[in-house]
Amino acid sequence: MERIVLLSFVGVFSSMLSSATAWGQLITSDDFNYADNSLLTSNGWTAHSGGGTAPITVGASNGLTYPGYLGSGIGNAAKLIDTGEDDSKTFTAVTTGILYYSCLVKVDVVSAGFFVHLLNASTTFAARIFVQTSGGGFNFGISNSSTGTFGSTVFTLGTTYLCVVKYDVSTTGACSLWVFSSGVPASEIAAGTPEITNTGSGQASISAFALRQYSATQNYTIDGIRVGTTWNDAPLPVELDSFTALAHASKVELNWSTATEVNNYGFEIERASHNRLDGLEDWSKVGFVDGHGTTNAPQNYSYTDNIFATGAFSYRLKQIDRDGSFRYSNEVAVTSALTANDYHLAQNFPNPFNPSTTIRFAVKSRQRASLNVYNMLGQEVHTLYNQEAEAGVVYNIPFDGSKLSSGVYYYRLRIADHTELKKMLMLK
């Protein structure tokens, strides 16, 4: 039995708001969802070379598709079909650690050279993707310099590929390139050996993603750009727009939203207490909310934790993909307390359950209380509690339904001047 002194509500702390970088750090993205034939420089890009000469545009209704990739089938795409203007999309400089970027690439006409890369504050490049002719197709390459190191795989013209690049931000930073024709690996380990890896001549500060036009004969389509600090931020992000927590007298309301999702199985909600004398946090699962799979539409989620406790707590989301891979959100903090002038009957947890669950309740004054379970016909199937209950105590009552069939059940807390009823579901 957990004993907690019931206190007056000590206030509400609205949690910190996490941005779309909550799973790691998705730094920038672009699906070229702009009007047909519009200039990149009219849509947040800057010409860092050759401004106004054969400017880069988004092609007319030419967005690339790649099943399972977040940037698939949205808007248009950038066309690199000439020599002249080179454009970049800037972000806050990254000066240490690892950067990943991913994009969809379709090569129709090869002209040997690099065409996408990372950029520092001036015009010095890193992690450049190259192509060269090979037989009836082409090879991909990667390098920090103007000379590419190429893989041996011959790729097919006119085919959409998913390219993922890993770059160690340093003056000797290694860069690696993976190329996929189907599927989206959930992790770097799952992706296997890169097509090619190269080292040397890196840049210790990266602040932009760039597109390069270097030949009047090149014909490349680029779409679905993602830049982040983890593998999952580049090819597989679930973009978390917000995550907030709000404490009430005996519960905490959690709300979060996503901008986009790929293969999202759902969210485990985890809670940690800050009330331990040793200062450690014990994270435990308190609930689960189903995700929406793959969607480009914003989604809103909520969960109520009937916490029945006083003190400081943190919450985080464990986002789980359908293949079992997962990532954690940032944490949000609340201060919670129970009121001394009310009854509290919590939703059982887990719910649904098989075969056991726990029901918690508290009373505002010492008196006799009964807690009973009923089936759908209103027949009592079990008495869980029937005796005096003390004020200031949270009662954790286990319920074993192993001898009952699957279905909906009700549990009722009855006190002299109060009755409360809740529903639970057992699935065997």
Same structural domain, 68 and 102: yes
The 8 Å CB, 24+ separation contacts for 149-158 are 149/196, 149/198, 150/196, 151/177, 151/179, 151/195, 151/196, 153/179, 153/195, 155/107, 155/179, 157/107, 157/108, 157/109, 157/110, 158/106, 158/107, 158/108
**Which ranges of 44-198 would DSSP assign to H, the alpha helix?**
188-191
What is the pTM assigned to this prediction?
Answer: 0.58
Return d(Cα 312, Cα 272) in angstroms, integer. Answer: 9
pLDDT in tens, 61-85: 789 998 878 778 888 999 999 999 9
Let me know: does 107 contact 156? Beta carbons within 8 Å. no
Residues 258 and 216 in one domain: no
Last residue of a domain, one of 336, 353, 368: 336
Position 236 scores a pLDDT of 54
Query: Is the domain of 223 the same as that of 293?
Result: no
Q: Which CATH number is 36's domain given?
A: 2.60.120.200
CB-CB neighbours of 188 under 10 Å: 19
Q: What is the CATH number for 374?
A: 2.60.40.2550
Does residue 158 share a domain with residue 72?
Answer: yes
When mean pLDDT is compared across 147-161, 174-188, 383-397, the lowest value belongs to: 383-397
Q: What's the number of domains the chain is made of?
A: 3
Positive or negative: CA dihedral 142, 148, 150, 155: positive
Domain end marker among 199, 216, 233: 233
Residue 159 φ/ψ, nearest 5 degrees: -110, 140
Q: In this structure, are 10 and 117 located in the same domain? A: no
- Regarding whether 281 and 184 lie in a shared domain, the answer is no
Q: Are 138 and 132 in contact (CB under 8 A)?
A: yes
pLDDT of residue 76: 93
Same domain, 43 and 120: yes
- Whether residue 428 contacts residue 409, with contact meaning beta carbons closer than 8 Å, is answered with no
Same structural domain, 116 and 247:
no
Q: Which pLDDT tens digit goes with each residue over 9-52? A: 222 222 222 333 344 567 888 999 999 999 999 999 999 999 99
142 and 50 share a domain?
A: yes
Same domain, 222 and 247: no
Residue 273: which pLDDT band, with cuts at 50, 70 and 90?
Answer: confident
Residue 192 belongs to domain spanning: 26-233
Considering the domain architecture, whether residues 152 and 213 belong to the same structural domain is answered as yes
Indicate if 121 and 256 belong to the same structural domain.
no
pLDDT in tens, 93-111: 999 999 999 999 999 999 9
Please check the confidence at residue 209 and state whether its pLDDT lies above 70.
yes
Q: Which of 214, 233, 252 is the last residue of a domain?
A: 233
* 3-class SS of residue 63: coil
Q: Looking at residue 258, which CATH number applies to its domain?
A: 2.60.40.10
Q: Is 286 left (phi over 0), alpha (psi -120 to 50) or beta?
A: alpha
Q: Which residues lie across from 271 on neighbouring strands?
A: 284, 315
Is the predicted pLDDT of residue 120 greater than 50, yes or no? yes
Tell me the three state secondary structure of residue 302: strand
CB atoms within 10 A of CB 200: 12
